[in-house]
Structure 1
Amino acid sequence: MTTKKWTVKKSLKTIWITAGLVFTLWLFYSSQSHGIDEQFFHDSNTIKVENTDDFYSFSPKKTFKNVFIFYPGAMVDPKAYVPLCRKIADNNIKVYLIKMPWRLASNGYNKPKELNLFNDTTKTYILSGHSLGAKMAAQFVFENPNLIDKLILIGSSHPKTFSLVDSKVPVLKIYGSNDGVADEKSILDNKSKLPKTTKFVKIEGGNHSQFGYYGFQLGDNQATISREQQQVETLKIILNFINES
């Protein structure tokens, strides 16, 4: 190999390695939480906050009936979902935001069962998740049909490889019209995998990333509404579904 060819090959290798490192750093940064009010992490007059190795929990100090369990999206800092979870808890609902091993719900979707979070048979349990978290929430219901009372799937085209069509669990699917990761077509293409009673609610102008407080996700589209507006609409849709008899 001539010196010139060797130099070119070495330069190309350096460029690829550098590009790979930059891309990896960008992915890490984009999945980090941003813009979250620190007050969400502290107790209030009505909510007690707990931060453990396994979850964030937000517990109403008054008697409550509903327990909401949330699975984060793949690689996303679980803190990114604290604002939504805390606001759900403010409506007298106990909330567990699960911290997944390696930030992948596929590795930890059985944690609520392992942590005995379903032991109180007097409570109503709502399981939810975003993106991969939603996929694995659906998987949990498929494998444990009698543990969950309601299922909420956010920003996800799943289930795909199994069917919940015969499930008796009420299901809600929330998605953004501008979601480039779980687009409307793929969501509706897999409609047959869910019960016929499943409610599909589209947030006009919403995208994938704005269901949490983290950076812009690879493959997503730009939203035409603010993150705050998308969060407000998501909260309202969730609460309406939980409060339905």
Structure 2
Amino acid sequence: MKAKHPLRKRLLIAGGVLLAVLVVLAAGFFWYVSDYYRAEDVALAVLAQDDGIETRDNLTILSPSVPSDTAIIFYPGAKVEAAAYLPLLDQIRQTGVTCILVDMPFRMAIFDPNAAEDVMARFPDVEHWYMAGHSMGGAMASQFAADHPDQVDGLILLGAYIYGDYPPEDTLTVYGSLNQSVEDKLDYTENVVEIQGGNHAQFGNYGPQKGDLPAEISAQEQQAQTVAAIEDFIAARQAA
């Protein structure tokens, strides 16, 4: 019986070391995800509107003044507060399209790329679904569209490129001319819109982003051009 004590001691030490490693990893993870880009006041002010904006659980629904059978599901960029995209989506809904903003776990779409499945189930009256997202959110929206082509009418990528096997002809890709990393990855030319003087961050309202070049146009102008491109893209697809 005594011979078993050294083994038990080694197991206890190994267990303690493993526990300590897990604690350090967990602490590092929560430190990483707690350091994120906050929505600016101009974005938070959109929530104060009483007309057509509703929050349900992790969703913010922006409805047009006239009921629509077309909706966009929007995945935010990584480590960006979802509300930062409200000014952009508020402008899109004014074109007659419902916008549904998804607040992702730990503010990273990679942790729930199939969130759109639940969204679609909760809005059965919508007939035409478009997936959209910014940066990593765009990549995860693209992956969902590739995995569910029969449920998606089109894909809208902002500061991102197609991730997965989804047709470029069914995709709108919008990026700023100062966001060279996106341009370098594009291997298709269909429905690609380059915003001169735009950068990576200004699709949302969360301030400068690390590693991003300063834009040569305002966020308002970059978003206005983006909305126009999205409106034209959806109109063309629905007219086809």
- TM norm structure 2: 0.78
Identity across matched positions, percent: 33
- Distance in 2 (alpha carbons) for counterparts of 1:133 and 1:106: 8
In structure 2, the residue matched to 1:9 is none
Select 2:35's aligned residue among 16, 25, 28: 28
- Distance in 2 (alpha carbons) for counterparts of 1:173 and 1:157: 7
In structure 1, the residue matched to 2:183 is 184
The one-letter code matched in structure 1 to 2:197 is: G
**SS of corresponding position for 1:57:** strand
Change (3 A) 1:183 1:37: closer
Q: Deviations over 1:106-129 (max 9, x none)?
A: 112211212414633x62111100
Deviation at 1:96, TM superposition (A): 0.3
Superposed CA RMSD in Å reads 2.3
The one-letter code matched in structure 2 to 1:206 is: G
In structure 2, the residue matched to 1:119 is 124
Note if contact 1:179-1:221 (Cα within 8 Å) is conserved in structure 2.
yes
**SS of corresponding position for 2:78:** coil
Alignment of 1:42-61 (within 5 A): 42-44=48-50, 47-61=51-65
Select 2:146's aligned residue among 142, 145, 148: 142
Select 1:156's aligned residue among 147, 160, 164: 160
Change (3 A) 1:42 1:90: farther
In structure 1, the residue matched to 2:206 is 214
Change (3 A) 1:38 1:156: closer
Select 2:215's aligned residue among 215, 223, 227: 223
- Distance in 2 (alpha carbons) for counterparts of 1:73 and 1:37: 15
**SS of corresponding position for 2:117:** helix
In structure 1, the residue matched to 2:170 is 170
Q: Deviations over 1:85-117 (max 9, x none)?
A: 111112221110011011111112211212414
**SS of corresponding position for 1:240:** helix
Q: How many residues matched?
A: 206
In structure 2, the residue matched to 1:16 is none
Change (3 A) 1:38 1:135: closer
The one-letter code matched in structure 2 to 1:119 is: P
Change (3 A) 1:149 1:227: same
Select 1:240's aligned residue among 225, 232, 236: 232
In structure 1, the residue matched to 2:191 is 199
**SS of corresponding position for 2:35:** helix
Structure 1: 5+ residue runs without aligned partners? 1-20
Note if contact 1:112-1:118 (Cα within 8 Å) is conserved in structure 2.
no
**SS of corresponding position for 1:223:** coil
- Distance in 2 (alpha carbons) for counterparts of 1:222 and 1:147: 37
Structure 2: 5+ residue runs without aligned partners? 1-27
- Distance in 2 (alpha carbons) for counterparts of 1:37 and 1:154: 18
- Distance in 2 (alpha carbons) for counterparts of 1:135 and 1:153: 8
Larger Rg over CA atoms = 2
Deviation at 1:176, TM superposition (A): 0.5
- TM norm structure 1: 0.76
Deviation at 1:157, TM superposition (A): 3.4
The one-letter code matched in structure 2 to 1:176 is: G
- Distance in 1 (alpha carbons) for counterparts of 2:97 and 2:232: 13
- Distance in 2 (alpha carbons) for counterparts of 1:101 and 1:37: 20
- Distance in 2 (alpha carbons) for counterparts of 1:153 and 1:38: 23
The one-letter code matched in structure 2 to 1:177 is: S
- More helix, by proportion: 2
